[in-house]
A = this chain, B = another copy of it.
Amino acid sequence: MKFSCEKNVILEAVGNVIRVIPAKASTPVLEGILIEIKDNVLCMTGSDTEMSVQTTISVESDESKTFIVNAKTFNEMLGKLENGTVEFEIDEKGILHMVCGVIQYDLPTREAELYPTVPFVEKSKTLKFRKKMLHSMLKQTLFSVAQIETRPILKGVLFDICGNELYIVTTDTFRLSLRNEEFENTFGEDFSFVVPGKAINELVRIMNTDDEEVRLGLASTHAVFEFENTVITTRLLSGEFLKYKTIIPKTFKTEVVLKTEELKRTFERASVLINEKMRTPVRVNFEFDTVMTCCKTPEGSNFYDEIKAVIQGENIEIGLNNKQITDVLSVIETEEITMSLNSPVSSVCIKPVGKENALYIVSPMRLKVN
């Protein structure tokens, strides 16, 4: 059985599916890529227990064939070939021969029967989004997905659809990210679902940001994202997500407008004094027209910086988590942000200035009395 295609085409397809495949699995089959060839179309699948990524490319083939190859070795072999057409042949022993010019690699394959089946998802709802829009919404919220297992639902990204508005929400209980955009809700009803952060991570990595569409099919337990030649199937997380609307403060005593980059640089400077083990709070004073930032360690190191800002309302001092702030400031694309505060023990609200489509909440940290 023979097939052939351009090296760069098949290498890109492998790049799409390989990240989801575990490097060390309980059986070698799960470290493999499933390759299905039929009617000059090659479909490759990479999966773990939660999700799968499928990509199809055109090949020239003389018959149908389905087999498994080790993902890591196949990827490395293809990467070392010259650019050009690669001729593939599977012999009667199940060895895949790859020839490109005088270079030849042989790689044993495995029986496709051993591969876990990708669930067939009977879609009860279908939605369409602009890739560019969805990509930006997910990229700007993904960072605050919970990393630990205490509340599994928070390891996911909430898609909350209200009328023609899509709300994307993530939270690890210490902070919350919210992005919203208008879209055409063809289903006509309000509903919500939670997609595992890992699947969203792969979606953001693989999906380009052109103006084409990504189609989302939904069943009770699974979601399917489709765009161009790629299909990402993932199980949904079940359980109740945080009731995020109730925790967003409505009124504030202090509102501060700041240059995004200036504030980010200040917090990056403070980071020299902060390590993972001892997460010292950054002490921030909002006074008249100045934001004063300082940080000190028990060893006697100290940091002080100040930047100009437009501050409306009461002066306030608050302790903030350095990483939580830089994470937010790294995804905001506007030149200025608004920080809205109520008290040293209340959450802080950060929004891009000039856009009403994002909101970030971070918790304060307790400050020691000076």
Contacts and interface: CB of A to CB of B under 8 A. Distances in A.
Contact of A269 (B103, B106, B305): B103
A268 B80 contact: yes
Nearest to A103: B305
Given A80-B269, A272-B77, A108 B304 contact: no
A23 interface: no
Contacts of A104: 302-305
Given A80-B272, A108-B299, A299-B108, A305 B73 contact: no
A369 interface: no
A290 B103 CA distance: 14
A269 to B, nearest CB: 4
A81 B266 CA distance: 10
A172 interface: no
Contacts of A354: none
Given A80-B269, A269-B80, A73 B301 contact: yes
A105 B73 CA distance: 50
A19 to B, nearest CB: 19
A306 interface: yes
Contacts of A107: 300-302
B80 A301 contact: no
Contacts of A302: 95, 104-107
B272 A95 contact: no
A306 B102 contact: yes
A189 interface: no
Contacts of A95: 300, 302
Interface string A24-52: 00000000000000000000000000000
Contacts of A304: 102-105
A302 B300 CA distance: 60
Interface string A89-103: 000000100000011
A300 B302 CA distance: 60
Nearest to A272: B76
Interface in A275-327: 299-306
Contacts of A301: 73, 105-108
A77 B76 CA distance: 41
A102 B272 CA distance: 17
Contact of A272 (B105, B268, B272, B299): B105
A288 to B, nearest CB: 15
A104 B302 CA distance: 8
A303 B102 CA distance: 11
A94 to B, nearest CB: 9
A153 to B, nearest CB: 38
A3 B65 CA distance: 75
Interface of A: 73, 76-77, 80-81, 95, 102-108, 268-269, 272, 299-306
19 contacts: A76-B272, A77-B272, A80-B268, A80-B269, A81-B269, A95-B302, A102-B304, A102-B306, A103-B304, A103-B305, A104-B302, A104-B303, A105-B272, A105-B301, A105-B303, A106-B301, A106-B303, A108-B300, A108-B301
Given A80-B269, A106-B301, 19 more contacts: A80-B268, A80-B272, A81-B269, A95-B302, A102-B304, A102-B305, A103-B304, A103-B305, A104-B304, A105-B301, A105-B302, A105-B303, A105-B304, A106-B300, A106-B302, A106-B303, A107-B301, A107-B302, A108-B300
